[in-house]
Chain A
Amino acid sequence: MAFTALYANKLRSLLTMLGIIIGVGAVIAMVSVGMGVRSNVQESIASLGSNMLIVSPGSSNRSGPRGAAGSKTTLKYEDAQAIESKVRNIDYVSPNASGNYQIVNGNQNWNTSVQGVTPGYMDIKSLSVQSGSFITQEQMNKRERVAVIGTTVAENLFGSENPVGKKIRVNNQPFRVIGLLESKGQSSMGQDQDDVVIIPLTTAQERVLGITYVNSISIQVSNAKYMDQVQEDVEILLRQRHKIVGGKEDDFHVRNLTSLMETMTQTTTMITLLLGSVAGISLVVGGIGIMNIMMVSVTERTREIGIRKALGATFNNIMMQFLIESVVIGVIGGIIGIFLGCGISSIIAKVGGFNTVITWAPIAVSFSFSVGIGLLFGILPARKAARLDPIEALRYE
């Protein structure tokens, strides 16, 4: 019965559904974009490693006046060594000093990031070497000019040749390539992880960067439950070493990647909800469209309602007839909207070049929402129809 009535007014039914279709489609597309952003952020933080603490120079108090430029220079390799030897429940400590330099092989040159690291870096970043070897402690101690390069660098400087054993120039100094990294591809943020040159930290500090400090110290904690304890121990130790007493501001700060991840996840969830609820508003507007058309439909069909009532239709019979109609609009609109939303989401993924994540939750929620809206916004017109007086309805022209 409901289908007959809807089919009799095909164009109008479709236009009425359009509001719901767009609403559901928008919710699904927006939420899938939001979820995509979230999973990208989560992946990229996770790719930095789990159970990681990162010590950076400078105060964490961003809003206050930043310390003198000198405060950036206070974090030392010795701090990393002290952390490794004094703080418990740590797997690796990896200090890092880096800069961008031109790398030259013969007449080929390539600009890339040069990372000064310790041997532990390989484990902490889960890197592996496909040819040659990684930096050793001995090379560290002797400040040797050796380099391990990523595949992108190798391709640009050596083509298909094996670079191991070859000479390159980093910042105009001769380096020997001792290893070629296994390719890691793009990071979830779209960064090429193979575009890197790795050299011993000490070499980087003295021979390339000309500095005595490190840019950061990464600490891999052995177990998630020790994160807070290790963070505290590291802070106490560094305050001692940097002679920071009383109320003086720290010249370093320790970030917990797990809690960073939690904050980011929270933020992106918020964004997703925001996008979803903005789209949800269009769903409500669609519902009002249903109500509007159903109202018109009830008025137009006053006579039909009168006839049905004269033949014995009760309040509930008429109520159900119109409610089913508006719910059917909601259901069909919802289903079409789901396909539309999934379609838009995959187009965004293709064109925008980033992941969108379609999950069941927004589909189920927006679908039941559209059914609910059909029901809710159908109630008023259906009541209006069901309450009509049969005689007056029959007299209606």
Chain B
Amino acid sequence: MDKKDAIAIRLRDIKKIYKMGGQELAALNGINLDIKRGEFAALMGPSGSGKSTLMNILGCLDRPTVGSYELEGKEVAHLSDDELAVMRNKHIGFVFQNFNLLSRISSLENVALPLVYAGVGASERRKRAQEVLEAVGLGDRAEHLPNELSGGQRQRVAIARALVNNPEIIMADEPTGNLDTKSTKEIMEIFQEMHGRGKTIILVTHEPEIAVCANRQLLVRDGVITRDEGKGVVLDVV
């Protein structure tokens, strides 16, 4: 099968409608989007425009009200909760703005968590988690608790966790939103390195400097994509 140019994500007329006390709010109002394997797309737009709502649907955390979402050729818009959980676990690595690490367990255990739900054995889990932690430069922080780490380090742990089950797609909703400039730079280097290794990356950001790291910039406004630049620049898929 030819992997290059294969479609990783295909959205067709995606709508997300929130009902609040009789009022209907269309957070997403007809999104059409194709993202190829190996693309690095940055999602921009003003606050409240629907970026997070879109990311949640892309990340299989949420379902669209209407529309079709094909992930790696599989229609996922109307899967059950558990089927979505499996999709998240296998195909998607999610990075959050506020890290979302479990505070009571070590970095290593945090990183290994997706493998628990993938049914990987304990010793294999530790081995793989340690490898990914080393890849993000935190091999010596494996036994630290999240609150013993800096913000940048926490986000690197979170990225390691997103990578550990070797998903095709990495999604990040404002991953550098809580970080200082130096950490932001480090994190973006990791994303670019992942892109270099052939991962499909979708990243939400407010900052144009970050958006230029990506090879495609999408602008979301009032629940629709209003601008789409740099389409088609794809690195070789490994």
A23 an interface residue at 8 Å Cβ cutoff?
no
A391 an interface residue at 8 Å Cβ cutoff?
yes
Partner of B62 from A306, A314, A391 at Cβ < 8 Å: A391
Distance of B109 from chain A, by nearest CB (Å) = 9
Which of B86-94, B192-200, B214-222, B230-238 lies on the face that meets chain A? B86-94
Which of B35-43, B98-106, B133-141, B174-182 lies on the face that meets chain A? B98-106
Measured CA separation A261–B112 after assembly (Å): 66
Measured CA separation A311–B89 after assembly (Å): 6
Distance of A396 from chain B, by nearest CB (Å) = 11
Measured CA separation A30–B94 after assembly (Å): 56
Instruction: Contact check, B86 vs A314: say whether CB atoms are below 8 A apart.
Output: yes
Residues of B near A191 (CB, < 8 A) are: none
Instruction: Contact check, A311 vs B62: say whether CB atoms are below 8 A apart.
Output: no
Distance of A392 from chain B, by nearest CB (Å) = 10
| CB nearest neighbor in A for B98 | A394
Instruction: Contact check, A309 vs B85: say whether CB atoms are below 8 A apart.
Output: yes
Distance of B147 from chain A, by nearest CB (Å) = 14
Partner of A315 from B59, B81, B90, B102 at Cβ < 8 Å: B81
Residues of B near A310 (CB, < 8 A) are: 59, 61, 88, 94, 100
Interface string of A287-325 (1 = CB under 8 A from B): 000000000000000011011111111111100000000
Instruction: Contact check, A314 vs B85: say whether CB atoms are below 8 A apart.
Output: yes
Instruction: Contact check, B81 vs A394: say whether CB atoms are below 8 A apart.
Output: no
B113 an interface residue at 8 Å Cβ cutoff?
yes
Instruction: Contact check, B61 vs A314: say whether CB atoms are below 8 A apart.
Output: no
Measured CA separation A306–B203 after assembly (Å): 21
With contact pairs A310-B61, A312-B114, A391-B62 given, residues A4 and B86 touching in the complex (Cβ less than 8 Å): no
With contact pairs A317-B117, A390-B61, A391-B61 given, residues A311 and B88 touching in the complex (Cβ less than 8 Å): yes
Measured CA separation A309–B82 after assembly (Å): 9
With contact pairs A312-B89, A312-B117 given, residues A307 and B81 touching in the complex (Cβ less than 8 Å): no
Instruction: Contact check, A4 vs B82: say whether CB atoms are below 8 A apart.
Output: no
Distance of A312 from chain B, by nearest CB (Å) = 2
Measured CA separation A317–B114 after assembly (Å): 12
A8 an interface residue at 8 Å Cβ cutoff?
yes
Residues of B near A394 (CB, < 8 A) are: 61, 96, 100
**Which residues 66-89 of B sit at the A interface, judged by CB distance below 8 A?**
81-82, 85-86, 88-89
Instruction: Contact check, A312 vs B85: say whether CB atoms are below 8 A apart.
Output: yes
B32 an interface residue at 8 Å Cβ cutoff?
no
Measured CA separation A315–B100 after assembly (Å): 20
| CB nearest neighbor in A for B101 | A307
Measured CA separation A314–B118 after assembly (Å): 10
Distance of B155 from chain A, by nearest CB (Å) = 14
Residues of A near B96 (CB, < 8 A) are: 394
Measured CA separation A374–B56 after assembly (Å): 36
Residues of B near A314 (CB, < 8 A) are: 81-82, 85-86, 117
With contact pairs A309-B85, A312-B85, A317-B117 given, residues A8 and B104 touching in the complex (Cβ less than 8 Å): yes
Interface string of B114-130 (1 = CB under 8 A from A): 10011000000000000
Measured CA separation A312–B113 after assembly (Å): 9
Interface string of B49-64 (1 = CB under 8 A from A): 0000000100101100
| CB nearest neighbor in A for B62 | A391
Distance of B62 from chain A, by nearest CB (Å) = 5
Residues of A near B102 (CB, < 8 A) are: 304, 307
Instruction: Contact check, A308 vs B61: say whether CB atoms are below 8 A apart.
Output: no
B161 an interface residue at 8 Å Cβ cutoff?
yes
Measured CA separation A20–B30 after assembly (Å): 56
| CB nearest neighbor in A for B99 | A307
| CB nearest neighbor in A for B93 | A311
| CB nearest neighbor in B for A317 | B117
**Which residues 313-343 of A sit at the B interface, judged by CB distance below 8 A?**
313-317
With contact pairs A308-B113, A310-B61, A390-B61 given, residues A315 and B56 touching in the complex (Cβ less than 8 Å): no
Measured CA separation A272–B94 after assembly (Å): 59
Measured CA separation A214–B125 after assembly (Å): 89
Measured CA separation A308–B105 after assembly (Å): 13
Instruction: Contact check, B86 vs A312: say whether CB atoms are below 8 A apart.
Output: yes
Residues of B near A312 (CB, < 8 A) are: 85-86, 88-90, 114, 117-118, 165
Interface string of B183-225 (1 = CB under 8 A from A): 0000000000000000000000000000000000000000000
Distance of B79 from chain A, by nearest CB (Å) = 12
| CB nearest neighbor in B for A312 | B89
Partner of B113 from A4, A306, A311, A316 at Cβ < 8 Å: A311
Residues of A near B161 (CB, < 8 A) are: 311
Q: A307-B113, A310-B94, A312-B118 are in contact. List 5 more A-B contacts (CB 8 A).
A: A4-B105, A310-B61, A312-B114, A312-B117, A313-B85
A residues within 8 Å of B by Cβ?
Answer: 4-5, 8, 303-304, 306-317, 390-391, 394
User: Can you name 10 A-B pairs with beta carbons within 8 Å?
Assistant: A303-B100, A307-B101, A307-B113, A308-B117, A311-B88, A311-B89, A311-B113, A311-B117, A312-B85, A312-B89
Closest 9 CB pairs of A and B: A312-B89, A312-B117, A314-B82, A311-B114, A314-B85, A307-B100, A312-B88, A313-B117, A390-B61
